[in-house]
Chains A and B, each alone.
Chain A
Amino acid sequence: MNIVVCLKQVPGTTKVNIDPQTNTLVRQGIKNIVNPFDTYALEEGVRIKERYGGKVTAISMGPPQAEEALREVISTGADEAILLSDSAFAGADTLATSHTLARAINKLKQYDIIICGRQTIDGDTGQVGPELAEMLGIPFVAYVSKIEEIDNGYMRVKRMVEDGHEVIETPLPTVITVVKEINVPRLPSLRGLAKARSAVIPIWTAQELGVDKNMVGLSGSATRVIRVFFPQRVHHGEILQGDLESQANSLINKLREAKIISGS
């Protein structure tokens, strides 16, 4: 079983601080981490390998420091990792990112299951998984919460929807995105950490992938950010005063007066 896990290195907190004077992001001192949802994807890939045999390859598109993220997943079970890095890839939206990842995965030639986390904590779009599937021309299942069985070229999974779960059967190869309910990611092992330290992580550039520069990076992006701003929160509210008993009473009265709840 050839398992590919796509991951992204993201800032370690979404609590990006705002400089109150300039109203801009403060990024100093924020360390980078593997996108948390991708750690679930990696763990599931390793579990599939343990259950059915095979190999887990981790791939990430990012700047050179994304290599740390790839080493981290080697310490928790990935057999090998590949970094896709090139200035031509910068500024990519999900369309361009998916294209780049698809080219890299095609270069691997063999793949049975491609696993992504459900979304990143910085972009939050959740679009790369499905777009990637389409570019590879293979089926896709989102929000997988359990892999029930893999047999005979098919995989049966349970996936989350708003009002319950669906059990879906998909032929391999396939792309899935996973939710955090699927597993508890393991800690690194000592042997894994030693392996990660000495691992050679190849870097594939635009040239090595043979991509058309108009299909990747900013040039390959269909969407563009034209403005960023900080959500204005205008505080219209009221902090009640007095002892708790009278606050509770006051609250009920106010809600009734405003006809938000019914009552005398």
Chain B
Amino acid sequence: MEYFLNEQQKTLKSLARRIAEERILPVRAELDEREEFPWGIMKDLAEADIFRIFIPEEYEGLGGGCFELCLAVEELSRVCSGVAVSYAASALGSFPLLEYGTEEQKQKYLPDIASGKRLAAFALTEPTAGSDASAIKTTAERVKGGYVINGTKQFITNGGEAEIYTVIALTDKARGARGASAFLVEKDTPGFSFGKKEKKMGIRASSTRELVFRNCLVPEENIIGKEGMGFIVTLRLLDRSRPGIGAQAVGLAQGALEAAVDYARKRIQFGHPIISLPVVQNMLADMATNVEAARALTYAVARTIDSGAKKFTEEAAMAKVFASDIAMKVTTDAVQIFGGVGYMRDYPIEKMMRDAKITQIYEGSNEVLRSTIAFELRKRKARQE
């Protein structure tokens, strides 16, 4: 379907695809098998200016928006979701700075993120605080010259590999959610260490780690925005990044769909390729329809965000929920179409099914997001009356 890309967007999409096919495809199975962070590919992406697309020109970026980010993420994810999310998480980690950072903070950190020299990450989740984000326990105590952070963050994407972390911690425990603030913490800051690397079902090329803060002192100029803005920063960031997860899911589903069509055309059973069976045709038709619908929704939301819309919580949630749910279904159906060989690790399709699951869980589980959407529906109706 035509999405009316301009010249730069077309160039970006084709370059991202080229990187995916020439650099990621040959190594994706090995990265998954060895659970190895794709530093080589991060370097290729950096050299090709792919990290610049989500940074404004005044900070050495190319000034693209959510749409461009989705284009890149979709193409990378079509080949390997684990690599795509490592790239996307760096974008996610830079959003707090982009939205709420001071000029000094932006000048200090954004150029390195744009050049791909340093990766970023965002740290909210804790053992006691998943969907219930306000239940975080990490504290940031005001001291002379800065804040001392204590606590543990869990399941942080790019944990251990990134050098620039946005950490949400409580500066005022009494005020609950309104007592949280956002801080920039650099790797190698004394008191900041990492827990073990998690062993995951999927996106195994991505590094997921615990962040451990023990009396970690960060200078006062590292607070993002003001004290108490922690959750505003968080909610804004998540709204903005959800289409990216949508794009990750769309790309993943697209890769699985293409593989399934290819296989169905070649696999001969009962004297004919299985694609000639109506049952397979129906599956593929539904898969393709869902992928296109998810894509259309994701990019429509991306355009809305880029047009300067003030509020897009509901739409962003819809894109993420829909795309991730269909990705799970499409990849599962793809394995089904592959049949026995689809179950074998020698074939790339089972990895795609394993990679899909997390898209329904992270960045706001689909259950939480559904309740967010429902809440928006109620609110709107209530306002009308």
Q: Which residues of A contact B (CB under 8 A)?
A: 186-194, 197
B44 touches A190 (CB 8 A): no
Which residues on B sit within 8 Å (CB–CB) of A191? 49, 52, 62
B44 touches A193 (CB 8 A): no
Identity of the chain A residue whose Cβ is nearest the Cβ of B16 in the assembled complex: A190
The 9 nearest A-B residue pairs measured at CB: A190-B49, A189-B49, A189-B48, A193-B11, A187-B48, A191-B49, A186-B47, A187-B19, A190-B62
Q: How far is the CA of A139 from the CA of B23 in the complex (A)?
A: 37
B44 touches A187 (CB 8 A): yes
B47 touches A190 (CB 8 A): no
Q: A186-B44, A187-B47, A190-B50 are in contact. List 15 more A-B contacts (CB 8 A).
A: A186-B47, A187-B18, A187-B44, A189-B48, A190-B8, A190-B12, A190-B15, A190-B48, A190-B53, A191-B52, A191-B62, A192-B49, A193-B15, A194-B11, A197-B7
Which residues on A sit within 8 Å (CB–CB) of B104? none
Q: How far is the CA of A197 from the CA of B50 in the complex (A)?
A: 18
Identity of the chain A residue whose Cβ is nearest the Cβ of B72 in the assembled complex: A190
Contacts of B1-31 to chain A: CB distance below 8 A:
7-8, 11-12, 15, 18-19, 22-23
B48 touches A188 (CB 8 A): yes
Identity of the chain A residue whose Cβ is nearest the Cβ of B50 in the assembled complex: A190
Among B8, B15, B50, B52, chain A packs the most CB atoms within 10 A around the CB of B15
B12 touches A187 (CB 8 A): no
Number of A-B contacts (CB under 8 A): 36
Chain B: interface secondary structure? helix
Which residues on B sit within 8 Å (CB–CB) of A190? 8, 11-12, 15, 48-50, 52-53, 62
Q: How far is the CA of A197 from the CA of B10 in the complex (A)?
A: 13
B62 touches A187 (CB 8 A): no
Instruction: List 21 A–B pairs whose Cβ atoms lie within 8 Å, in order of A's numbering.
Output: A186-B44, A187-B19, A187-B22, A187-B23, A187-B44, A187-B47, A188-B15, A188-B48, A190-B8, A190-B12, A190-B15, A190-B49, A190-B50, A190-B52, A191-B49, A191-B52, A191-B62, A193-B11, A194-B8, A194-B11, A197-B11
Contact of A187 among B7, B8, B11, B15 (CB under 8 A): B15
Q: How far is the CA of A187 from the CA of B44 in the complex (A)?
A: 8
Identity of the chain A residue whose Cβ is nearest the Cβ of B14 in the assembled complex: A193
Which residues on A sit within 8 Å (CB–CB) of B11? 190, 193-194, 197
Instruction: Give the Cβ gap from B56 to chain A, nearest Cβ, in Å.
Output: 15
Identity of the chain B residue whose Cβ is nearest the Cβ of A190 in the assembled complex: B49
Which residues on B sit within 8 Å (CB–CB) of A189? 47-49
Q: How far is the CA of A186 from the CA of B47 in the complex (A)?
A: 8
Q: How far is the CA of A187 from the CA of B15 in the complex (A)?
A: 8
Q: How far is the CA of A189 from the CA of B15 in the complex (A)?
A: 8
Identity of the chain B residue whose Cβ is nearest the Cβ of A191 in the assembled complex: B49
Q: How far is the CA of A186 from the CA of B18 in the complex (A)?
A: 12
